[in-house]
A and B are shown apart, each in its own frame.
Chain A
Amino acid sequence: MVQNRSLIDESGKRSDGRIIDELREVKINVGIIKNADGSALIEFGKNKIIAAVYGPREVHPKHMALSDRCVIRCRYHMSPFSTDTRKSPAPSRRETEISKVIREALEPAVMLEDYPRAAIDIFIEVLQADGGSRCAGITAASVALADAGINMRDMVSACAAGKVDDKIVIDINDTEDKEGGADMPVAYMSNLKEITLLQLDGELNPTEFNTCLEEAIRGCLKVYEIQRSSLMEKYFGNEKGLKE
């Protein structure tokens, strides 16, 4: 990672005009796919990602089923048109890894033992990518799981933090990811206060690591509020009475 130009200007603005602890604009639409049991479209800055959840449903092939809990199958996929140079639609090594990582970030939230011998399928389709798509994918998938009415201990919210020009910033975008110092995606269960995903690409000293983690969790809490309001909007749109 070579830093060849300044990513934060003199006035403290980042490459896309945000300040260091500012999230990109996040919008979540719930229930956009009629055929799925639960779905969500998330716009996380320039990211546009659809998450669809099917299930719990019968497991095929049958030998994959577990007798005491359900299996979660997750597919993260980037559309060929989601990046500036065409991406081959075949699942790449990176996508396979992200699918696994997202599955493991969501599994602690889902009450797997409530659905033995069944499967929950999660499809995450990236329509437009701009850095932080795994975080946006986890956020959308969590909303889609709740929309599908699957028993969950908590919502999972995800946000990245990182180091750009030796400063800790939250919600790294594509440029900052490629040219910055470090990128740390974190998925977090806000009510249970548990981390379900923690990755780090780059180098941070222990102090920086701690600040970075704190900032990422602060980002997750902001994302959680957006998840919450989008679900409330979908299910209880007009009635404000019983909302907190």
Chain B
Amino acid sequence: MQEVKRKYVIPGDIVAEGNFKPLGNVFRNGNSIVATRIGITESNKDGTKVIPLSGIYFPRVNDIVIGKILDHSSLSWSVDINSCFSAHLPAQDIFGRDFSPAHDDMGSQLSSGDVIVARIAIFDRTRDPILTIQDKDLGKIPTGELLKISATRVPRLIGKRGSMIQTIEQATSTRVTIGQNGIIVVSGKDKEGTNLALNAIHIVEAEAHTSNLTQRIKQLLNVPESDIENDTQNNHEMNETPMNDDKVISNDIGKEMGMMNSDGTK
């Protein structure tokens, strides 16, 4: 397989010619692979793809997203996840399998306006995404500064193995929660650190496609060079977002909740 250089493309540009596997934001037209988005091409032995530089968030199964509770029906909360579909968080996810709208007060757990971190449990394009908060580090976010960036900038903000976000977190002593949908919550002890982190995130968003960005952010935050290496945290997403593989995983709603509070009736 021949080597393909990285290059900038707009929709309609030929990314590669020959026997490449189209991975993401490209399509095959005869013998050539054509870009469908503005972005930077990347190809390796698995295939070829375009890393997009613009666009709104489109949900994928297993993405960690930050959403705002809009409202609830008798069986689920509807959540704004900054996408063209509003997501649903089933009440059973919180109350367990024996949830009953008559006995459980949904408002006591989450009310409209609350911000949650959730994982997309089910999404197959034919219906709205279903969320779950039954996992480590998921659930309601009590405090913090909410900001929105373009979802295409999220991998850059996280950096290679979380390098960028760790730089920002450590230098400003804040906790930055990133949703794949481009919504970010920054919580810190003091206002100064929070503002500095917000500032750095805005710079990353604006200059996402330029090289040596981590170095410049380090300079901005006055971080000495050796501090950040080899210090990986696993609760952040990986640098490269996996490209669209819309597999549907099985739903584990209520699995851990057991049969407590059952009153014997149906």
Contact = CB atoms under 8 A, between A and B. Distances in A.
30 contacts: A37-B55, A56-B58, A56-B84, A57-B56, A58-B86, A109-B11, A117-B84, A117-B125, A118-B85, A119-B84, A149-B52, A152-B12, A153-B36, A154-B12, A154-B34, A189-B12, A192-B12, A228-B10, A231-B10, A231-B38, A232-B8, A232-B10, A235-B8, A235-B38, A235-B54, A236-B209, A242-B5, A242-B7, A243-B7, A243-B8
B35 to A, nearest CB: 9
B125 A116 contact: yes
Which of B5, B34, B86 has the largest number of chain A CB atoms within 10 A?
B34
A67 B34 contact: no
A150 interface: yes
Interface in A190-244: 190-192, 227-228, 231-232, 235-236, 238-239, 242-244
B11 A153 contact: yes
Which of B25, B27, B56, B125 has the largest number of chain A CB atoms within 10 A?
B56
A37 B29 CA distance: 28
Contacts of B27: 111, 153
* Size bracket, chain A contacts: 35 or more
B86 A152 contact: no
B12 A155 contact: yes
Nearest to A236: B8
A132 to B, nearest CB: 23
Interface in B129-182: 152
A123 interface: no
A149 B54 contact: yes
A116 B124 CA distance: 10
Contacts of A152: 11-12, 36-37
A58 to B, nearest CB: 6
Contacts of A149: 37-38, 52-56, 152
B84 A151 contact: no
B6 A242 contact: yes
Contact of A147 (B14, B54, B85, B209): B54
Contacts of A76: none
A159 interface: no
Nearest to B10: A231
Which of B11, B25, B53, B152 has the largest number of chain A CB atoms within 10 A?
B11
B38 A147 contact: yes
B205 interface: no
Interface string B36-57: 1110100000000000111110
B114 interface: no
Given A58-B86, A235-B209, A190 B8 contact: no
A141 interface: no
Given A147-B38, A191-B14, A67 B85 contact: no
Which of B10, B27, B53 has the largest number of chain A CB atoms within 10 A?
B10
B71 interface: no
Task: Return the 8 tightest CB-CB contacts between A and B, nearest first.
Answer: A149-B55, A154-B12, A149-B54, A152-B11, A191-B12, A151-B36, A118-B84, A56-B84
A154 B37 CA distance: 9
Contacts of A118: 84-85
B84 A115 contact: yes
Given A57-B84, A118-B84, A149-B52, 12 more contacts: A55-B56, A56-B84, A109-B11, A111-B36, A117-B85, A117-B126, A149-B54, A153-B27, A153-B36, A191-B13, A191-B14, A243-B8
B209 A153 contact: no
